[in-house]
């Protein structure tokens, strides 16, 4: 019987094999002819001895896949030991575990420098830096995998990649999965496939409820940006997470639509993300980001704008502040805000601003008074109340809020 080949152009073959091996309780890479780094990383994540072992991986040295896994440092990762030094710079990096937030930037820098040593400041390097930082941050913030995640990368230029060298980066964990992470703040999400679909939309995260645009540390844009990058660079994106898989393959056609499964195909017990694109397809990083920002703006719910300044009577017990323009002293306005308003908002305590004596004031004064307050109100998710404001002052305040929140 021919041994399988695990290539990203056909992830179903790998996921089906892995599901069968999980059912058996053990696997051997000697049964595999060829395996790209995504398959080796995903298998290693299940067999790690420093976490909950979900699969026993037998020692293997005979097949090409087994020898490649050994060169990637799979033995060290399984045992929780220090990662092996890479043997083929600009071809592969060894399997690396990431457990804490402080590792994210250092690991990303190391991978980009190893994979693109002659082009550390190119558009491709910038793009893959972005992808890796976002994916590693997701593992640390959301996976709840105590063993952390595994990251690896591979540069392919042979076989189907001849003439179009591509870089493949992989981040995998055995955490709670995307469906579980989202359903707590988005109860209308009923299936893992719906969760994957939502996760690829702008301003979606398990850290804040639907209709909001983010928290201090999370804007819910990471996976959205990564999926759009795959589309705009004719790349591939595999996202497999507890009950569903998403696979986009535009390597050969810019019009190919993603395939999403929901329980009808083998999944992954955690979250496996694989991003791959031909280096020649990257183009201008700045233009890619600009285009994705434009798409995000069109798809961002408008109800996100203008919600932290509330033009209504404040609840009982909220501290009231009588606003006094005081000769339009913007320095004094900012100082007052820093000393009296911002500390309240940091403690998640609302304030009520009373504009009863104000008919005319400049935009500069209101900006000095409220720019940082509006941002704090958004970040801490606590409203500020505005009472007795004329229509003109209200319009000026709405402008401050829109500007301060980037809307």
Domain shared by 239 and 343, yes or no = no
315 and 216 within one domain: no
Residue 369: which domain range?
305-404
pLDDT at residue number 89? 65
Check residue 144 and give its pLDDT.
72
Q: Which of 280, 302, 324 is the last residue of a domain?
A: 302
Instruction: Indicate whether 295 and 318 sit together in one domain.
Output: no
Cα(378)–Cα(371) distance, integer angstroms: 11
| End residue of a domain, out of 248, 278, 302 | 302
pLDDT value at residue 80 = 77
Which of the residues in the chain have pLDDT under 50?
A: 205-219, 303-306, 407
CATH number at 321 reads: 3.30.750
Same domain, 241 and 330: no
CA separation for the pair 372, 374 (Å, rounded): 5
* 335 in the same domain as 266: no
Looking at residue 2, what DSSP letter applies? P
Q: Which pLDDT value is given to residue 52?
A: 67
Residue 31 shares a structural domain with residue 132: yes
Q: Are residues 20 and 87 in the same domain?
A: yes
Same-domain check for residues 324 and 227: no
Using the structure block, give the residue that is written with the tokens 């590693």: 136
The answer to whether 220 and 206 are in contact (CB under 8 A) is no
273/165 Cα distance (integer angstroms): 20
Please enumerate in sequence order all residues whose Cβ is within 8 A of that of 355, keeping only pairs 6 or more positions apart, or say none.
Answer: 323, 386, 387, 388, 389, 390, 393
- CB-side neighbour CA atoms (13 Å) of 150: 33
Q: Are residues 330 and 387 in the same domain?
A: yes
Question: What's the number of domains the chain is made of?
Answer: 2
* Sheet with 384-387: strands ordered across: 309-310, 384-387, 351-354, 319-322
What pLDDT, on a 0 to 100 scale, did the predictor assign at position 209? 46
Do residues 291 and 334 both lie within one domain? no
| 295 and 317 assigned to the same domain | no
What does the pLDDT read at residue 53?
67
CA distance 228 to 295: 9
Task: Check whether residue 185 and residue 334 sit in a common domain.
Answer: no
Last residue of a domain, one of 302, 319, 337: 302
Torsion of CA 221, 222, 227, 228, to 10 degrees: 50
What CATH number has the domain bearing residue 130? 3.30.565.10
Q: Are strands 259-262 and 244-249 parallel, antiparallel or unpaired?
A: antiparallel
């Amino acid at each position: 019987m021919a041994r399988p080949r695990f290539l990203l152009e056909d992830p179903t073959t790998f996921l089906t094999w892995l599901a069968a091996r999980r059912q058996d309780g053990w696997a051997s890479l000697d049964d595999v002819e060829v395996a790209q780094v995504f398959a080796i990383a995903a298998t290693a994540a299940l067999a790690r001895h420093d976490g909950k072992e979900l699969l026993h991986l037998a020692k293997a040295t005979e097949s090409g896949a087994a020898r490649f896994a050994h060169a990637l440092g799979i033995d060290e990762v399984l045992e929780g030991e220090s990662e092996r030094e890479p043997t083929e710079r600009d071809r592969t990096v060894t399997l690396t575990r990431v457990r804490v937030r402080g590792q994210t930037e250092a690991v990303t820098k190391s991978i980009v420098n190893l994979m693109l040593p002659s082009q550390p400041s190119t558009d491709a390097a910038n793009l893959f830096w972005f992808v890796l930082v976002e994916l590693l941050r997701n593992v640390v913030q959301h996976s709840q995998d105590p063993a952390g995640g595994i990251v690896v990368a591979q540069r392919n230029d042979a076989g189907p990649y001849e003439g179009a060298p591509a870089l493949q980066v992989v981040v995998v964990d055995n955490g709670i999965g995307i469906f579980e992470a989202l359903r707590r703040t988005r109860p209308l999400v009923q299936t893992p496939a719906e969760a994957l679909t939502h996760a690829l939309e702008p301003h979606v995260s398990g850290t804040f409820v639907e209709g909001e645009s983010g928290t201090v540390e999370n804007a819910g844009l990471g996976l959205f940006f990564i999926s759009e990058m795959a589309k705009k660079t004719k790349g591939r994106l595999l996202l497999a997470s507890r009950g569903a898989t998403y696979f986009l393959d535009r390597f050969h056609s810019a019009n190919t639509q993603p395939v999403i499964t929901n329980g009808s195909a083998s999944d992954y017990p955690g979250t496996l993300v694989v991003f791959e694109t031909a280096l020649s397809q990257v183009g201008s990083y700045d233009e890619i980001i600009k285009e994705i920002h434009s798409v995000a703006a069109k798809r961002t719910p408008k109800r996100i704008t203008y919600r932290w300044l509330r033009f209504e009577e404040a609840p009982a017990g909220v501290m009231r502040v009588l606003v006094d323009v005081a000769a339009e002293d913007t320095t004094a306005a900012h100082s007052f805000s820093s000393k009296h308003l911002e500390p309240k908002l940091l403690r998640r305590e609302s304030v009520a601003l009373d504009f009863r004596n104000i008919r005319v004031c400049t935009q500069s004064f209101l900006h000095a008074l409220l720019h940082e307050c509006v941002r704090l109100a958004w970040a801490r998710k606590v409203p500020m109340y505005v009472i007795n404001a004329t229509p003109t002052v209200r319009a000026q305040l709405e402008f401050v809020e829109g500007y301060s929140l980037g809307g």
